[in-house]
């Protein structure tokens, strides 16, 4: 299978196998007017299998949210056909309006204007807690 190289854009590499469509929808890539390649179940020495997304356009990415969805992703910034920068992601310390608190007694349930803030409390297990009520979310 041949997938053309991109001249200027972003390559999301080392995506957990099967997660590329979730990222595709989260990033609203279906609304972009550029060439996008989703390659699923690519053989990987490191992961066994992985997915890759190639976006042939410059876009702004929320690296914290990508890190939350899959901290193993490598973001490659491509310019003139060459990788300019590689960014390794990790679980972000804080998340704002990414996770919604499920506790019906939390202030975010009654006060709609308040941001949903979560803080990473267990990096090993990927556990976040609401900063207002301490409700756990994975």
Q: Looking at the 3D structure of the chain, how many domains does it have?
A: 2
Pair 79, 111 in one domain = no
Identify whether residues 103 and 67 lie together within a single domain.
Answer: no
Shared domain for 82 and 116, answered yes or no, is no
User: Which of 88, 113, 128 represents a domain boundary (last residue)?
Assistant: 88
* pLDDT for position 84: 92
Residue 12 and residue 75 in contact, taking contact as beta carbons nearer than 8 Å: yes
36-44: strand order across its sheet: 36-44, 48-55, 9-16, 74-79, 82-88
Give 86's pLDDT tier (boundaries 50, 70, 90): very high
What is the rounded CA–CA span in Å between residue 119 and residue 122? 9
Residue 41: what are its φ and ψ, rounded to 5°?
55, 45
> Is residue 4 included in any domain, yes or no?
no
User: Are 17 and 74 contained in the same domain?
Assistant: yes
pLDDT digit string (tens) for 18-35?
999 999 988 888 888 889
For residues 130 and 103, membership in a common domain is answered with yes
Q: Are strands 48-55 and 36-44 parallel, antiparallel or unpaired?
A: antiparallel
Residues 73 and 117 occupy one common structural domain? no
Please, how many CA atoms are within 13 Å of residue 105, restricted to the half-sphere of its CB?
A: 3
38 within some domain: yes
Distance between start and end Cα atoms, the chain: 36
Residue numbers of the domain that contains 132: 94-137
**Residue 40 pLDDT greater than 60, yes or no:** yes
d(CA 127, CA 107): 20
Q: Is the pLDDT of residue 1 over 60?
A: no
Evaluate if residue 138 carries a pLDDT over 60.
yes
pLDDT at 47: 78
Specify the pLDDT at position 2: 60
For 49-66, write each residue's pLDDT tens digit.
999 999 999 988 888 889
Cβ count within 10 A of residue 83: 10
Three-state secondary structure call for residue 28: coil
What mean pLDDT comes out for the span 125-135? 96
Task: Examine residue 108 and state whether it is found in any structural domain, yes or no.
Answer: yes
Same domain for 112 and 63: no
State how far the Cα of 128 lies from the Cα of 80, in Å rounded to an integer.
39
Residues 57 and 13 in one domain: yes
Same domain, 84 and 32: yes
pLDDT value at residue 88: 92
């Amino acid at each position: 299978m041949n997938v053309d190289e991109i001249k200027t854009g972003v390559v999301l590499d080392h995506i957990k196998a099967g997660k590329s469509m979730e990222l595709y929808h989260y990033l609203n890539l279906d609304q972009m007017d550029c060439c996008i390649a989703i390659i699923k179940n690519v053989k990987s020495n490191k992961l066994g299998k992985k997915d890759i997304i190639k976006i042939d356009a410059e876009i702004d990415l929320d690296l914290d949210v990508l890190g939350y969805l899959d901290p193993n992703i490598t973001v490659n910034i491509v310019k003139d056909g060459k990788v300019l920068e590689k960014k390794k992601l990790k679980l972000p310390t804080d998340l704002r309006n990414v996770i919604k608190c499920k506790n019906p007694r939390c202030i975010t349930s009654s006060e709609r204007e308040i941001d949903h803030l979560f803080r990473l409390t267990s990096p090993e297990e990927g556990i976040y807690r609401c900063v207002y009520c301490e409700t756990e979310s994975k």
